[in-house]
Structure 1
Amino acid sequence: MRIGFDAKRAFKNTAGLGNFSRSTIAALANYYPDDRFFLFHPGKAKSALFSAPELTTVIRPKGFWWKIFRNAWRSFRVAGIAKNLKIDVYHGLSHELPQGIEKTSIKTIVTIHDLIYVRYPHLYQKADQIIYDFKFRNACEVATRIHAISEQTKIDLISFFHVPEKKIKVIYQAINPLFFEELTEDQKMPVLKKYKLPKKFLLSVGTIEQRKNMVGLLEGMLMKKINIP
């Protein structure tokens, strides 16, 4: 099978969307060596964040104008390239699909992580809301299948976008094996000393911003409504 991925965030994004893209591509390339994987990336080929696994081919803009208008290439040129490459399945890893891909015979999957911009519009600029709304709705409309990362996202897709339930599949994100690695006390001690940490502490990995609701977590702890093991 020939599988294409929107790999922009795999190469550039340091947050959750980038990590999801990198781990998904790497896992599939590892477990399905008989398939061919094509990574559509509008940016530079080299990235400190991500090295394309073996058996993958990175597809980048060609031609003077497409190299200048890289985002336009990602939105309006990729469908034609994917068709010429005889891609069987194209996976939009973060909320969007190339324009016009529904006019090809390519099966498509789009991963929708959340609809926060709809639930909490006050956290986003109006221009961003308009762009997100166009991309998200278009992808959900034309996709063969929608991958939601949680039941809440599925509920939001049905409620806000009126997506047929049968079109959505909830698949939770896997946990990287490195989080199961046990460290010795000697390995832990330098970190505890460096950051002056107590024996028990809560670690939040992610950006600190209003939509992450860290305040709600702290309030719940203070009210003793959240039990910390």
Structure 2
Amino acid sequence: MLENKYDDESFFQKYSQMDRSQNGLASAGEWSTLAKLLPDFTDKKLLDLGCGFGWHCRYAVEHGAAAAVGIDISQKMLAVARSKTDSDKITYLCQPIEKLDFPPQSFDIVLSSLALHYVNDFDALCAQASCCLKAGGEFIFSVEHPIFTAAGAQQWHYDPDGTISHWPVDNYFNEGQRTAIFLGEQITKYHKTLTTYLNTLLQNSFSLRQVVEPQPSLELLSTIPAMGDELRRPMMLIVAAQKQN
């Protein structure tokens, strides 16, 4: 059975209190980088995989999209998305990302933000995304970086005096399930190498447009001193790909 941690009441309440949950895209540290990779939404149809609270669907429609479909496995997430949405151009569907079943060439853009590391079979997901995209369509996604997911625990190692020693990277080439602690709770994720992410796209009729390992902005670095630790290892990977004819 596919994990649906976001409908667990305790976990959902903790997630709902995060800055990015409260304030949306403005509080997502990677948003300034991701936004630069997005195509023109004018008259386009968007599919958002793991849409959560619907921030990207609303952004797309606000920037001219003809329609946006957001899918998510969590009823709780979608309830919030619907409460924040006032547009008949946006449709939310409760279903797993892994169960995509749209007619061929249904969308111009497929977008996913920090959701695909919850998907085990990335090859099947890419095949589905390729099928439902029109020729020339864009597939843009952010995931937790393979260096961030490799060891599994996703925790810094500390010296005896409490200062950060290093970020552990282990079992990098051993892809598959990891158990991480996020918001104080155990959650299942799936580690994949950088090779797997990029080559799987190439094998499913995509060409690479941009590959970015986002760093904290100068503003964040100047206002939140602890953010400097984020320069010691990449936390996220953002990829923009285009479906070939």
Q: Which has the higher helix share?
A: 1
Give the shorter-chain TM-score range. 0.3 to 0.5
Question: Scaled by the length of structure 2, what TM-score is found?
Answer: 0.41
Question: Scaled by the length of structure 1, what TM-score is found?
Answer: 0.43
Q: Which has the higher contact order (CA 8 A, sep 6+)?
A: 2
Q: Which has the higher strand share?
A: 2
